[in-house]
Amino acid sequence: MHRSQVERIAIILFIAIFAAIALFPILWMLAASFKTDKELLDGSLWDFGSAGISNYVKAFQARPFLRYLVNSLLAAGVSVLITLFLGVLAAYGFAKMRNRYSEMIWIAVLASIMIPIEAIVIPLFLQVHAFGWHDSYAGIVLPTALNAAGIFILRQAIQGIPNELLEAGRIDGASEFTILRRIVVPLLAPSIVVVAVLTFSLSWNNYLWPLIITSTDTLRTLPLGMAAFQMTLNTKYSEIMAVSTFGTIPMALLFIFLQRYFIDSAIGSGIK
């Protein structure tokens, strides 16, 4: 383990170069959001802009970005709630109440994790139309709300809970629902946060489905609003960067406070 100092410095230097590359576009976006377009295209890379927050103000005047934000938060919030509620129930059923059918059903659930939304948008579109949900919150949120990968992660976690704990509850005469609520859920807390973070980020990045199902501007989620703003004629580059930065803020806040869970959810989503 006595690696030479030179080797250590070389490794850190190598990593630092790639960390700088990872960071550059993000810092550049942030800086650009405070510049004028002229400064952005002609000025030096590292000059501070003179635009102040005017790009943000103008973008918000041009389009209802707060509304987009609320729509996105709502969609992500509902997805997290549905995934956790249905997911914990199903995961418990699959992990602790096995019977001869549940193994087969579990394989079907696993298979459904693999179904990419990109391949089923057309039937989903027709189906949601038939439900009368076109261009509505229900249509945007519900079809993609349940993150099946969440069930997988929760099931793994519940399998790790010793049966003796549950048996103790059963002997005391507690119903399965009470056992789930009082014994299992408190033990699941870390996995629940991981699934919440994963589901939130997936929902935050949803683009294709809301793009297809919305036509009213005020129903748009943030990614759609950002992309539409960019396509509007004569939109200033610096204002687009202001909007890009704005869209990053909620995820950045989550990441700062829940960093550990983000990393775990990245690893957990490896199965998605």
Partner 1 sequence: MFQSRKRLSLVFIAPALLYLAIFQLYPVLYAVYISFHKYDLMSPPVFTGLSNYIRLASDEQFLRSLWVTAFYVFWTIVPVIGLSFVLGGLLSTLGRSRSVWRFLLYLPSILPFVSVALVWKLMFNQRGPINDALNTAGMASIPWLTNGAYAPWALIFMSWWHATSYYTIIFLAGFLTLPRDCFEAARLDGAKLFPMIRHITLPLMRPTIALVVVLATVNGLKAFVFQQVLTDGGPANATQILTILIYKTAFSYLDMGRASTYSIVLFGCIMLLSLIQIWLISGRRDA
Interface positions, 145-174, toward partner 1 (CB under 8 A): 146, 148, 151
| Of 81, 168, 189, 271, the one binding partner 1 by CB under 8 A | 271
Q: Which CB atom, from 132 or from 270, has the smaller least distance to partner 1?
A: 270
Interacting residues with partner 1 between 216 and 255 (CB under 8 A): 222-223, 226-227, 230, 237, 240-241, 243-245, 247-248, 251-252, 254-255
Structure tokens at 28: 């550049």
Residues in the chain: 272
| Of 6, 42, 172, 215, the one binding partner 1 by CB under 8 A | 42
What is the C-alpha separation between 178 and 180, in angstroms, rounded? Answer: 5
What is the C-alpha separation between 140 and 214, in angstroms, rounded? Answer: 7
Query: How many residues bind partner 1, per CB under 8 A?
Result: 89
CA distance readout (Å), 56 to 36, 46, 106, 185, 225: 12, 20, 48, 42, 14
CA distance readout (Å), 272 to 92, 130, 159, 176, 224: 20, 29, 19, 29, 24
Give me the least distance between CB of 146 and partner 1, in Å please. Answer: 5
Give me the least distance between CB of 73 and partner 1, in Å please. Answer: 13
Other beta carbons within 10 Å of 155: 22
Binding-site string for partner 1 from residue 79 to residue 118, where x marks contact by CB under 8 A and - marks none: ---x---xx-xx-xxx--xxx--x--x--xxxxxxxxx-x
| Of 29, 161, 183, 193, the one binding partner 1 by CB under 8 A | 29
Question: Is residue 46 near partner 1 by the rule CB under 8 A?
Answer: no
Question: Is residue 18 near partner 1 by the rule CB under 8 A?
Answer: yes
CA distance readout (Å), 258 to 81, 238, 254: 18, 30, 6
Question: Is residue 60 near partner 1 by the rule CB under 8 A?
Answer: no
